Amino acid sequence: MANYHNNPDDALRSGNGKKALGDIIVDAAGPIATRRMIVVYERGKDPYLAYPGSPGVPIRRATSREVERAYRWRNVMNSAR
């Protein structure tokens, strides 16, 4: 069972991994108005958006507003990438 936090710094402090993931709903173009994505946050690096199934593949940089709006932050234990 994952422990969820309100911000990425708390998620980083609570686990052994170097990355924290947060869920976010972003506006999308096309027939689907919104899409669920994740914000990948690593201390000392720029946060980025990724699809839930592939957190190691950056789609684009996350804005500070998107980082603030993300919820259910959790620590990633295996951060070999």
Find the angle CA(2)-CA(80)-CA(21) to the nearest 5 degrees.
35
Tell me the CA distances in angstroms from 13 to 31, 33, 38, one per residue in order.
39, 35, 19
Q: Render pLDDT for 24-63 as a digit per residue (tens, 0 to 9).
A: 998 877 677 888 999 999 988 999 999 998 888 999 999 9
Could you tell me the residue ranges of all domains in the chain? 8-76
pLDDT score at 70: 96
DSSP type of residue 53? T
pLDDT score at 8: 93
Please tell me the pTM assigned to this model: 0.83
pLDDT(78) > 60: no
**Average pLDDT across the chain, whole number:** 87
